[in-house]
Amino acid sequence: MAFCALFFLSGCTSLVITRFVGPTVENLQKQKDVDLVCEGAPSFLLMIDSMLASEPDNKNLLITATQAYGAYTAALDVCGRNERAGVLSEKSREYGLGLLFQVGLCKGSKVPLDIMHQNLQNFGKADVPSLFWGAYGWAVWLQYQGGAPAALADFLRVEQIMLRIIELDEGFYHGSAHLFLGMYYGGRPAMLGGKPELSKYHFGRSLELSNRQLLAAQVAYAQSYARTVLDLDLYRSLLQEVLDFELEDRPDLYLANQVAKRQASQLLQEMELYF
């Protein structure tokens, strides 16, 4: 702590991010013990909060914060501590919106859709990391809002950002913009505004761009699309693919893929509730 304080007093936060904070977030995804992440990550998150209190407009630190809070929130869901996930997702949203504001996209979550669409045209490929992680932090919070009307309106804004990312660099972070859109379009039946064919297309691109190695894509495909259209064979095959995947094949995605494996196992156990 004294070492970190020395850097803060010297105004060298960027050096801390480069040499310590960034690699720590990367290491978080390599962790094999989800329970250890659940128990040990809070101290790291508190440190990020403290750093952002000093430099709230630091773009790299905001990206790191949305990544860390998103990963931790997903781990809490699997650890059976959902009551904390909803609360912590608010931090993910705060930092995601802060990032979008910092790069000049919007001043808040209520920016009109037409203004957002117009502003998005001013961004290029170099802006994709900020756009994606900002929208990601926002989306993490949205999944815990239980379909509230305000949340549904926010989903439309995140959709616009993800569509622009696909135009600029569809392969960014394993095609995760396609993954979001697959979930968004596939989570509702067609009669309630869902778009199953679009969902299927985006999930297909997500799997292709990730080489089927980001297992969250298969889990979401099964949960959001296959279950909605009552395709039992697809549901089973996607989840079994997740269970058969060797985690050591992608050590950089170990945490996310381990979480996906636990989710796949649970979804298979619940199969008779939906088919």
pLDDT digits (tens, 9 = 90+) for 152-196: 888 999 999 999 999 999 999 999 999 999 999 998 777 767 899
pLDDT at position 110: 78
Q: Please give the class, per CATH, of domain 170-275.
A: mainly alpha
- The DSSP call for residue 272 is G
pLDDT, position 23: 55
Give 108's pLDDT tier (boundaries 50, 70, 90): low
Tell me which fold the domain 17-157 belongs to.
Answer: 1.25.40
Distance from C-alpha of 118 to C-alpha of 248, rounded to nearest angstrom: 43
Q: Residues 6 or more apart from 2 whose CB is under 8 A from it?
A: none
Q: Please, what is the Cα angle at 216 between 18 and 92, to 5 degrees?
A: 50
- What is the average pLDDT value for the chain, to the nearest integer? 85
As a whole number, mean pLDDT of residues 134-138 equals 95
- Identify the band that residue 225 occupies on the pLDDT scale cut at 50, 70 and 90: very high
Residue limits of CATH 1.25.40.920 in the chain = 17-157, 170-275
pLDDT of residue 151: 78
Q: Among candidates 217, 259, 265, which has minimal Cα distance to 240?
A: 265
User: By C-alpha distance, which of 68, 64, 42 is closest to 255?
Assistant: 68
Q: How high is the pLDDT of residue 20? A: 44
DSSP letter at 247 equals: G
Query: pTM above 0.85?
Result: yes
Closest residue by Cα to residue 221 from 256, 191, 253, 264: 264
Q: Is the pLDDT of residue 13 over 50?
A: no
- The answer on pLDDT for 150 being more than 50 is yes
